[in-house]
Structure 1
């Protein structure tokens, strides 16, 4: 009886194995070939031109090759940076126009370089779009409000928005000024020791300044106290970028590879430090002595929401703000100083305005709106050197975009930098530094009053930290202009590239002079 059962199993086993193999092949064929090709046919019928699907990797190999070639050498000292920053997207627009199809692994990507459509996508309220799904390893850096969707996003946004109101930001200005004053004092001491002139790399200086501002204004500590978190976040950013650019197989995040172990170790360390800070703030609040920083305001939001936000939620918002707030403003200020070194006439105009408004005293937040030239300069730098050159969305259902019907499961690539460098919307002098474009405000900066400027996004999902970043940038630039003039070092090499945000590949060495 038992022998017969065993023999029966052996006879059936090849059939079971064959069925399993056929199932695996069928599933693989569906996901690796049939589904991508079906989406490609659908998009072709919608009139979309672009690249054909390539098995497994899509256009990743070509994109990496073009990027490596572009980043292997510096560029001339001008503002035509888009071809270097993302050569693949730039070539797609040149070859196929403002709407084109490419592939990331097995997923179709629709490049949308039309400002009207970008505005429509950013402003959509019917739930047809969401943030594009990411490699799960990328989530270690980008959780928080930026990745929530639907009702969950709406509730969280409503809860934390009051913490970013301008009047709340203005109450943090003393912390901003402390950070800027410390920078000015340190540079002044160095200038005294070096005879009134010295060279330094502005990029790490602005990173440290922005880190100190975030630490003081958002978390009630100094850069020295928060340095561990910043360093860990910086390392995590490199690891996340590597994961994003690599082929991802389901379940890979669970493999105990060396880099995976480090990614999760960094995440644990950051969360542990943030939890300490949160518990300390809660203790102070219970004693009737709450702080007036952003973290304390978030904790208040949590309490007022009947604990709808958990401590883990607050930690994710902190991680996001640590990275997004620090990184984008630091790169913005870095490129502003580089550009003003390239255009000393505008540097002098900005300095004259700052001296006229504030003299040599510390800037007053109430008078920041009087800085028209400084504002124009900052906006033009945002246009030319967009801190986050590309954003993306994802279609949840079949959606009408302009004249095209786009199926579910398509990633929409919104190349903000390409839009900011498009002569159709900015004129033939698009690559020139002309702050006067913004003399009548952002809405009238582009040709024919077209909206083609999206550095902080658009619509209901515009960046909540916009006011924070603008106040910080104006205060920092004003205090630097009050005390120093600066020009490019002979060792400066012009090479913008992206590591999450737009950065100078070889640093930004400038020569500082005391005024």
Structure 2
């Protein structure tokens, strides 16, 4: 103790003063950053937008419009919709719907201190999503959450995004997707057989909640299509990624709390643990597949196609190293699970609900399926002839888009739509609002009319195209053909074997979670044909 005391006494005063000065400077710098982030910068950006006549709300320290957002969301969820109504926007995006009704098709709101411009104008959406001048990028405040889910195409930018997109495009080429049809057919046939056994044991009519059924179906499809023989391991990954998606929704609701993501909360720790476990499983599957490829054994599943495309792209570019590392491939596979699992399940669920409400279109779709396939298993050639089924799926995607929001952020000052936006402004494209906009789709915008798409997507709306279920522009969802092919296969098999309508226990309550889901399930009455 005496020695320590002597050492302290021997410390020159100027060192203590320097240390104190550094600590004070760090504290002042931190205080300045907080002041700038939560007060000065929002005021500066708000003034720049208001001075140009852009309507909307004013920034309120510290949470912006979050309290009103939460209040309206809770109120909307407390009451179901009328059974025959498809006017989902006031229920699933109540705050954004209210803002567009109050302030017009382009309006400023505040997500904490972040300025968020809600856009309900398809022309402006197309221009921003096309990003021809490189002024827009991914929403920075969301990237860390997305990377916990899947550090893939949706989180990459610049050259890395372009390289990954080229490689992934090879795997999702339509001709290669046709090789996955046996996996689609096997999973859909198993679902149909299970339903037939259930209906057969209940005097010909059985109520089934199709939402969890389709979630399991799409998880099985992805597991088989992605990993083939590693199906069991794929199922474990599917379950973990399902939990991770739900955790991500909880995490987003805390984003306005400063530094929350750095706290050792139970949610934060669980998300990181799931990410590590999924990565370990995928790394093992990839290693086994790479060894098989070295032995000359190739596979038509997604992983095999991705690895083949990676080797080919690397050779063509003259690179000694693979263009995509193992970590990159892990990220893309995780994204495939997250993006492909719920979106197709949501599409199939709402399609059965809507066709239960509109029996005449269910009859027309079944007539088409039976005319093309009879009772034979659907194949790729026949699926391409399903015009009425395709029209129905497009109209369901319009009325009930699985993904409700696409965001972009200005990375540099840019002029668009007559307004100059400074860096740091987030554009929020509320797809549900655009898809239900009567100025774009007509006064019957909230009605189910598949004939809108009789001549394709490009002629379905007044301001064409205004159909964004898979995004738009160069970053449009690479898996859209996969999702539609899977949905057509499953729906065709169901129409071949069952009649269906809504159960009296069904409550019509579309709800925005990670995707647009039925809040109380999707209870359908099935009867064998």
Q: TM-score, normalised by structure 2?
A: 0.93
Taking a change above 3 Å as real, the CA distance of residues 137 and 368 of structure 1, as seen in their structure-2 partners, is closer
**Alpha-carbon contact 2:111-2:256 (below 8 Å) kept:** no
Q: Does 1:175 align with 2:190?
A: no
Q: Does 1:112 align with 2:119?
A: yes
Number of residue pairs the alignment of both structures matches: 514
Residue number among 290, 311, 321 corresponding to 2:298 in the alignment? 290
Q: What residue in structure 2 maps to residue 494 of structure 1?
A: 508
Partners of 2:288 and 2:26 lie apart in 1 by: 56
Taking a change above 3 Å as real, the CA distance of residues 223 and 20 of structure 1, as seen in their structure-2 partners, is closer
Structure 1 residues 419-428 or 237-246, which shifts more? 237-246
Deviation, 1:4, is: 10
Q: What residue in structure 1 maps to residue 155 of structure 2?
A: 147
**Alpha-carbon contact 2:368-2:386 (below 8 Å) kept:** yes
**Alpha-carbon contact 1:138-1:241 (below 8 Å) kept:** no
Partners of 1:177 and 1:222 lie apart in 2 by: 18
Q: What residue in structure 2 maps to residue 75 of structure 1?
A: 81
Deviation, 1:255, is: 3.2
Q: What residue in structure 2 maps to residue 277 of structure 1?
A: 285
Residue number among 356, 363, 378 corresponding to 1:348 in the alignment? 363
**Alpha-carbon contact 1:82-1:417 (below 8 Å) kept:** yes
Structure 1 residues 91-100 or 214-223, which shifts more? 214-223
Q: Does 1:43 align with 2:49?
A: yes
Deviation, 1:125, is: 2.6
Taking a change above 3 Å as real, the CA distance of residues 3 and 375 of structure 1, as seen in their structure-2 partners, is closer
Structure 1 residues 333-342 or 210-219, which shifts more? 210-219
Deviation, 1:205, is: 0.7
Q: What residue in structure 2 maps to residue 413 of structure 1?
A: 428
Residue number among 120, 135, 141 corresponding to 1:134 in the alignment? 141
Q: Deviations over 1:435-486 (max 9, x none)?
A: 0010111000012x52211111111111110111111111111110000011
Partners of 1:131 and 1:19 lie apart in 2 by: 33
Taking a change above 3 Å as real, the CA distance of residues 268 and 12 of structure 1, as seen in their structure-2 partners, is closer
Residue number among 452, 457, 463 corresponding to 1:442 in the alignment? 457
**Alpha-carbon contact 2:230-2:285 (below 8 Å) kept:** no
**Alpha-carbon contact 1:50-1:101 (below 8 Å) kept:** yes
Q: What residue in structure 2 maps to residue 60 of structure 1?
A: 66
Residue number among 210, 213, 216 corresponding to 2:218 in the alignment? 210
Deviation, 1:303, is: 2.2
Deviation, 1:19, is: 5.9
**Alpha-carbon contact 1:138-1:244 (below 8 Å) kept:** no
Residue number among 310, 330, 334 corresponding to 1:319 in the alignment? 334
Structure 1 residues 118-127 or 128-137, which shifts more? 128-137
Q: Secondary structure at the match of 2:471?
A: coil
Q: Secondary structure at the match of 1:73?
A: coil
RMSD value over aligned CA atoms? 2.1
Matches within 5 A, 1:381-460: 381-447=396-462, 450-460=464-474
Q: Secondary structure at the match of 1:145?
A: coil
Q: What residue in structure 2 maps to residue 247 of structure 1?
A: 255
Partners of 2:91 and 2:389 lie apart in 1 by: 27
**Alpha-carbon contact 2:170-2:306 (below 8 Å) kept:** no
Q: Does 1:475 align with 2:489?
A: yes
Q: Does 1:33 align with 2:39?
A: yes
Taking a change above 3 Å as real, the CA distance of residues 444 and 7 of structure 1, as seen in their structure-2 partners, is closer
Q: What residue in structure 2 maps to residue 371 of structure 1?
A: 386
Partners of 1:9 and 1:278 lie apart in 2 by: 54
Q: Secondary structure at the match of 1:346?
A: helix
